[in-house]
Structure 1
Amino acid sequence: MKLRLSVFFLLLSLQLLAQQYQEVKDIQYYESPTSEYVKQQSKLDIHFPKDEGKKYPVIVWFHGGGLTGGGKEIPQELKNKEVVVVGVGYRLAPKIKAEETIDDASAAIAWVFNNIEKYHGDTSNIYISGHSAGGYLALMAVMNKDNLAEYDIDANDVAGLIPFSGHTITHFTIRDQKGIPGTQPIVDKWAPLFYVRKDAPPTLLITGDRELEMLGRYEENAYFYRMMKVAGQKEIELYEMDGYGHNMVYPALPLLLKFVKEKSDQ
């Protein structure tokens, strides 16, 4: 009997917890989609607390996949954590030029700034994150201030930038489309490193173990970290997930939540 009661109360607690959050899916973030492919891909999902009496920190999450694959997602470990989570989809190469994915990322972030209050999000606490290609898009959308300025948004209004194993050099798919080998590192206008500046939002760089990561991924993040420090940025950290390779998302998500909580409480 005691076991049955315990199971009952556990299920009841889980049900009540589920009732406190809501999800909406497939929201178009371009006001006027220019093609069927934009309509298909340029959408986002939102997981948010139902409590209307409070504004919650917002995490914008870009999926990985080399700018050629994957789909919008909200990591399960970010759900029901007193944050609003936005999972963003975007167009993919080779149907478009890979650099056009940055346009989608910027448009999605702008949509969040302009609309997330409807979903109980705090526009003064919007954090941009993502894994691999998603980390690259997070960096590019924010580091190059022109991307958000196109939507009359100051990139420095982003509360924090937390890329997971993102390229800080020019993305390998962009290099490939330009006929540049993946083993030839490039820093040009398609590289976050091109835009290092001291006034960027607080940043937490997370990578896998340098011996297990994709070629050079830890080292390029370390170089970005160093050059940001040289530029005068004081609020930047680099965290290496010892023992984990490129697929280090799950164990790193608590670091993201910790960063958001600490910055939001300031």
Structure 2
Amino acid sequence: MTETYSICSISARSRFGIREGVMSLAVFAVSAVCAGDAVYDALASRQTVAVLVKEMAKRTVGANNKVLLDMPYYPEGTRMDAAGLAKCRMDFRYPADVKGFRTLVWLHSGGLTHGARHWVALADTNIAQVAVSYRLLGKEAKRGEDCIEDAAAAVAWALRNVASYGGDPKRVYVAGHSAGAYLSMMVGMDPRWLAKWGFKPTDLAGIVPISGQTTAHFNVRKFAGDADPQYQPKIDALSALRYAGKDLPPILSICGQPPWEWKARAEENRFLIASCKAFGHKNARYVELPYANHHRACSCGLPYLELFIRDALPQDPEAK
């Protein structure tokens, strides 16, 4: 059964949010502003939407947040060309007066070919955020593995360093939208990428892909010389579905609803979660957002992401 909550509307208060007091009105305010029609009327311009998303995120920086901008996440001495090293930077904000805070590593969208790092608009400003830039295909990255490698390095930085800022390294989450969701799944499911840094996927508190491609990403295939049609599904070493299993961190997959969501995207994500459950995964969930298209799924999905991070998501109706 698919979970379909109308989080984009006020009716969700009685169905979902106010239950047991787990969702604040502030979350609804953020969701309403992010998902407002005025924002999505501007979808013809990716640049305009990117500016709006970044502006909303800036407005949610808490008074107690310390902000560190343009930090490298690769260790000093990493062998990489100058353009790549210049791209591999992050912005880190964290609550300076909170001990044991949770941390979200956010990977931006853009098809792995464009986009820029930004924080996301969460109501709880005591959740630290790491906004990551990674090498892009057709620019600094030569192959899809470069993008995944960067995402893994940023996640490893968080696992290794948040404790020195007061955070809990056992409460590090990785999430992203679209291409960022693809990267979050690859880092959080394929053990090869974190192993390079001495970590494993189960060191993560959870992964939250929003509208991510679970088969081999179409642009990863394109830049590898694959001439097959975009919607030809392929499950290979660079697809999250290849790593569906039991021994993974908690997973919350969020997606828009067909026919508004991108073709086959919701179905892929349903299949991923169904496959994980078939293996015996006890904390893998799929949430489908009614009437949400690919872009709106991000803003409408943020309240779910926040509840997941706060361990406040209502019980899975399919849980046994």
Whether 2:303 is the aligned partner of 1:254: answer yes
User: For each residue in 1:125-154, what CA deviation from the matched residue of structure 2 results, as whole angstroms up to 9, or x when unmatched?
Assistant: 011100000000000011111111111112
Amino acid at match of 2:152: S
Amino acid at match of 2:135: R
Partner of 1:42: 88
For these two proteins, the number of residue pairs brought into alignment is 247
Amino acid at match of 1:243: Y
Partner of 2:67: 23
Q: CA deviation at 1:37?
A: 1.5
Whole-Å Cα distance in 2 between the matches of residues 37 and 219 of structure 1?
37
Matches within 5 A, 1:163-242: 163-177=209-223, 178-179=225-226, 180-242=228-290
TM-score, normalised by the number of residues in structure 2: 0.74
Amino acid at match of 1:61: W
Q: CA deviation at 1:80?
A: 5.0
Q: CA deviation at 1:217?
A: 0.4
Amino acid at match of 1:165: S
Give the counterpart of 1:104 among 144, 150, 167.
Answer: 150
User: Which runs of no fewer than 5 residues in structure 2 stay unpaired?
Assistant: 1-58, 314-320
Whether 2:130 is the aligned partner of 1:81: answer no
Equivalent pairs: percent with the same residue?
34
User: Which runs of no fewer than 5 residues in structure 1 stay unpaired?
Assistant: 1-14
Q: Which moved more, 1:238-247 or 1:255-264?
A: 255-264
Whole-Å Cα distance in 1 between the matches of residues 62 and 276 of structure 2?
41
Query: Following superposition, which runs of at least 4 residues in structure 1 exceed 4 angstroms of deviation?
Result: none
Whole-Å Cα distance in 1 between the matches of residues 119 and 62 of structure 2?
15
RMSD (CA atoms): 1.7
Q: CA deviation at 1:18?
A: 4.3
Whole-Å Cα distance in 1 between the matches of residues 208 and 155 of structure 2?
14
Q: CA deviation at 1:118?
A: 2.8
- Shift in alpha-carbon separation, 1:18–1:259, aligned structure 2, 3 A: closer
SS of 2:273's equivalent? helix
Q: CA deviation at 1:184?
A: 1.1
User: For each residue in 1:195-252, what CA deviation from the matched residue of structure 2 results, as whole angstroms up to 9, or x when unmatched?
Assistant: 1110101110000112111111000001111111111111111000101100121121
Contact 1:66 1:132 in 2 (8 A): yes
Amino acid at match of 2:256: G
Partner of 1:4: none
Whole-Å Cα distance in 2 between the matches of residues 255 and 198 of structure 1?
23
Q: CA deviation at 1:79?
A: 6.3
Partner of 1:62: 107
SS of 1:106's equivalent? helix
Whole-Å Cα distance in 2 between the matches of residues 30 and 45 of structure 1?
13
TM-score, normalised by the number of residues in structure 1: 0.89
